[in-house]
Amino acid sequence: MAEKETSKRGTWGSKVAFILAAAGSAIGLGSLWRFPIMVGRLGGAVYVFAYILAVFFIGFTEMLAELAIGRRTQKNPVGAFEAIRPHSGWKYLGYAGVITTMAILSYYAVVAGWAFGYLYKTIFGLFRNITWESSAAIFERFVANPWESLFCFFMVMAITTYIISRGIQSGIERFAKILMPLLFILMIFLAVRALTLPGASRGIAFYLKPDLSQIDVKVLFFAIGQAFYSLSLGMGIMITYGSYISRRENLVSSAGWVCFSTTLVAFLAGIIIYPTLFTTPGLSPEKFEPSLGLMFQTIPLVIDKLPGGFLFGLLFFILLQVAALTSTISLLEVPVAFFIDEHKWTRPKAAIFLGSLCFLLGIPSALSVGASATLTRFGFFNKMDLLFGNILLAIGGLGVLIFLVYFWGLKPALEEIRTGCPRFRLEKLWVFNVRFLAPLAILILLVFIKTITQ
């Protein structure tokens, strides 16, 4: 992660290096795979707009809060809370982050495994002359086969563990710096193709024309959850990233860029998926309930409609794999750094132990998408995602905001933010959000969590 040593602790070589690395953690399956599913489940355009508002008012606020805490303390989350408020209970919030990242990684890597499987399926030419029915069936058969999906999941965890154990994330990040802009360009290409498919307008309407009858607290809750999830917030990851930013850099614009690029990728993912999906005869937006395979089932359809589709498909799934890996790496690094710092474990020992633990923890998720009837009926995967990917992220994020306002103080926080940012134009808005809007919104939604999740 450290690019250049200035003091004892490394700092990013430049602002751009930080933005690319933080965007590497943020941009991943959360934007490409999870966001489009949420859109389908929560009524289309209304959710899209709720998500954008949630990123602007809550995600950005939270990111700036985490970065400021990290840069001030120069520590990992557990150490950061301890440094500002020694011997208080706050370090437990850091511990909670460690556990939640492990839990998220356990099912996130299952999906990264699906991306791995689609990479070799593309090479074997599975997607030629594909229809919606055959594409849907390919995914369903894949995840219903326990050996194949566990093998793919295992491969992703093994690669992630290897990279973390050798401490070579920065090598991967250098690689990702070139590949992520390429992913972006490819997505624009696919978006243009999707938008020009005959009949694309029904998909565009579903995605962009709000049906106000769909407004619901549920939409708001899952928009905030998705903002935290896709921006890697609420778990202290950005505290760690902030600890590597130099005091000369502008935290406000850095946070702004990470939020903007992540949201753009998520937005494009929907622009590709929905118009493609609704050009399929017989699918109606009103009754549409996407499965966890939505992205995997839809992308091959639009790729098939491009000249040289095979190469585009290969490129897409390679880039998807890289995007997923930069996120699995950032997830596994949290508990590994914790065990190295606090328990003096060696890096390989921590990586292998925690990587294996995550694999074991993820097996029920991997089997609950069709392979095991009992786990599928129980909805293990969805329950993990709801509990850790929405509720605990929101609680963690709320904790960080309360910590900043009441236990660290707005004054030192603003001093930290103003360092490197002489004119913080959104200062009043940020202060209002961090004190009132974001914590209250999260709190109210958590109080009603029972009704929301029914």
Query: Looking at the DSSP assignment, which residues form a beta bridge with residue 10?
Result: 5
Least distance to ligand TRP, CB of residue 320, Å: 11
Identify the three-state secondary structure at position 245.
Answer: coil
Is 398 one of the binding residues for ligand TRP (CB under 6 A)?
Answer: no
Least distance to ligand TRP, CB of residue 41, Å: 17
What end-to-end distance do the CA atoms of the chain give, in Å?
42
Q: Which residues contact 351 (CB under 8 A, 6 or more apart)?
A: 161, 164, 165, 332, 336
Tokens of 256: 């702004």
Is 30 one of the binding residues for ligand TRP (CB under 6 A)?
Answer: yes
Binding-site member from 331, 337, 442, 445 for ligand TRP (CB under 6 A) = 331
Which residue's CB comes closest to ligand TRP?
Answer: 30
Residue 5's H or E segment, with its range, is strand 4-5
Of 38 and 219, CB closest to ligand TRP: 38
Least distance to ligand TRP, CB of residue 75, Å: 17
Of 226 and 279, CB closest to ligand TRP: 226
* Angle at alpha carbon of residue 421, lines to 416 and 424, rounded to 5°: 95
Binding-site member from 37, 96, 227, 235 for ligand TRP (CB under 6 A) = 235
- By CB under 6 A, the count of residues binding ligand TRP is 17
Is 338 one of the binding residues for ligand TRP (CB under 6 A)?
Answer: no
Is 25 one of the binding residues for ligand TRP (CB under 6 A)?
Answer: yes
Tokens of 74: 């120069």
Region of 29-37, 80-88, 178-186, 409-417 interacting with ligand TRP (CB under 6 A): 29-37
Is 340 one of the binding residues for ligand TRP (CB under 6 A)?
Answer: no
Binding-site member from 19, 20, 26, 159 for ligand TRP (CB under 6 A) = 26
Tokens of 379: 């909805």
**CA–CA separation, 320 and 444 (whole Å):** 36
Binding-site member from 297, 298, 330, 368 for ligand TRP (CB under 6 A) = 330
Give residue 113's identity as a one-letter amino acid code: G
**CA–CA separation, 54 and 58 (whole Å):** 5
**CA–CA separation, 128 and 103 (whole Å):** 36
Binding interface with ligand TRP (CB under 6 A): 25-26, 28-31, 101, 104, 229-230, 232, 235, 237, 327, 330-331, 393
